[in-house]
Amino acid sequence: MEPNTQKLIHSFGALADLGQEVADTGDFMEMVRTSLHLLLGTLAIRRGAIIECPTHHLPEDMSTNLLAVWGVGDEYQPKFEVEDADREMFLNAPDGAIVLVQSPKSKVQSPSSDLRSEVSTVRGPRFPGGEPDWGGGSGWVEETPGVTAESSPVFFDRYTTELQQQGFDLIIPMVVRGELTGLVLLGGKASGDPFSADDLEVIKSMVRHIGVGIHTHRLLGEVKQQVIENRRLYEDLRAIYRDTVRAFAAAIDIKDKYTKGHSDRVGKYSEIIARELGFGEEEIEGMAIAGYLHDVGKLVVERDIINAPYRIDAKQSSELNRHPAAGYEILSPIHHPYADIPLMAKYHHERMDGRGYPDGLTDEQIPLGAKIVTLADSFDAMTTDRPYKTRRTFDEVILDLRHNTGSQFDPIVVVAFCRALMKELNGETKKRRFAKMLGKNYLDASKDIPLLTELLAELDPNTKTAAAGG
């Protein structure tokens, strides 16, 4: 096989390996290091470095970042300042241009029309009346658009000495989609042979691959940052929405002077139950909102009925019972970020046995969210003082749950509620949410845990009936 053919096959193999490396979604820095090693190994180049240029050429953001280096010592830490003029030079250079660092040791194979179009310097003496020394003279100027001795910036005035000292002969700008992604610095070949036109083509192709990989990584980083920013904005909007809803719920409760904080507590109890049932965070948030807004329909009920210091009569009760349907009408036109909130407000007084209102739904017809709000609402009603009755003891609450599970309350919801309360009494949760809402002395772990244990033992969460009281 001809040497040139072998070299071509080797180069194609290296390009394939490099393409796979760049496409890999693994560690970015490892990808860059491996890419540099592939590039150097393909042409047996002594040393090299890959430098990332800043995305935005702001005055305070001009410093380059060394991504990988080989053959010049770990202590080498180049810090170039890529100014606007430098950036313009590299961006205006021919596609895949290779810039020759002016050094007596720099070697490129004798010229051809193809080769001369690939290589240029941006600084150096003209050679009056003759050709430059292509075998490693002091350098030359190639007349290409945007890269001339007259128009070149002072980049090489600043850094030529450093580049020469480190033994770098070539600079290849990585330009992707009109953006200067970075620079690849290369030294001479280990054999001492000059770079041929074929060598330069391979270098350009491989550098283009590397540039695309770095550019893609940069884009992914920007996308991730945008996602983080959007997520932060979304969280802020959610917090504003929730605070607004809670303020609205407080305004609802103001109408009922006997139940201050009722809607807020129902929202928190609903959230606790949903979390115990394994709901996702979005659903848990939605359940809290549903709890806060469950009594919004009371806005259409006469204040005298809501604040009656006695048990209301049948006519007044009928008026009060309008509030779930009224709440549905109020909430339905609003675009909520959580599903079924209007239905939860409408059905939070439905019962498993069909004796609830407004529609007399039974069991499976009632949304699970509404069943959660039903228990949260009832529990808060049982454990707060009303004008016509004092709140029940915990023993009485357990008795009510035992008696009404399967008829009014869904056993699955009751079990989740009791388990959440049990965890707090056992000290398994840091937050003392029940104790805070019920008052310091309402719960007594030594007495209440046995009651909850007994109730949980009686209930079968896999059925819709209670083992007792049904």
- DSSP labels, 62-102: -B-EEEEEESS-TT-----B--HHHHHHHHHSPTT-EEEP-
- For residues 413 and 326, give the distance between their C-alpha atoms in angstroms, rounded to a whole number: 25
Q: Give the separation between CA 161 and CA 361, rounded to whole angstroms.
A: 86
Cβ distance 380 to 261 under 8 Å? no
pLDDT given at position 469:
40
- C-alpha distances in Å from residue 153, one per residue of 78, 184, 240: 19, 19, 52
CA distance 228 to 230: 5
Supply the pLDDT for residue 9.
55
* Distance, CA of 135 to chain centre: 54
Query: What dihedral angle (degrees, nearest 10) is formed by the CA atoms of 100, 106, 107, 113?
Result: 20
Give me the average pLDDT of each 10-residue run along the chain (470 residues).
53 56 66 87 89 67 78 72 74 64 49 40 33 36 35 59 79 84 88 84 85 84 87 86 85 74 95 97 94 92 82 87 94 85 96 96 96 98 86 96 96 96 94 92 94 90 41
- The three-point CA angle 236-238-242 to 5° equals 120
* pLDDT of res. 181: 86
Domain ranges of the chain: 3-225, 255-458
DSSP structure class, residue 393: P
What's the fold here for domain 3-225?
Beta-Lactamase (3.30.450)
What is the Cα–Cα distance from 40 to 43, expressed in whole angstroms? 6
Q: Output the pLDDT for position 61.
A: 57
d(CA 370, CA 13): 64
- Tracing tokens 């509620």 back to the chain, one arrives at 417
CA dihedral sign, ordered 366, 369, 372, 377: negative
The one-character DSSP state at 177 is: T
Residue 124 has φ and ψ, to the nearest 5°, of: 150, 165
CATH architecture observed for domain 255-458: Orthogonal Bundle (1.10)
In angstroms, the CA 241 to CA 231 distance is 15
Percent of the chain residues past pLDDT 70, beyond the cut = 75
Distant-in-sequence, close-in-space partners of 399: CB < 8 Å, separation ≥ 6: none
User: Residue 267: what residue type?
Assistant: G
Closest CA to 294 of 410, 383, 373: 373
Distance between CA atoms of residues 260 and 263, nearest Å:
8
- Among 356, 255, 239, residue whose Cα is nearest residue 289: 239
Which spans in 307-393 are helix H? 314-320, 323-331, 341-346, 368-382
| Cβ-contact 84, 58 below 8 angstroms | no
Measured between alpha carbons, how far is 380 from 269 in angstroms, rounded to an integer? 9
Instruction: Name the residue type at position 380.
Output: D
Task: Output the pLDDT for position 177.
Answer: 84
Query: Does residue 111 have a cis peptide bond before it, meaning omega lies within 30 degrees of 0?
Result: no
First to last CA, the chain: 91
Instruction: Say how far apart CA 100 and CA 312 lie, in whole Å.
Output: 96
Look at the chain and count its residues. 470
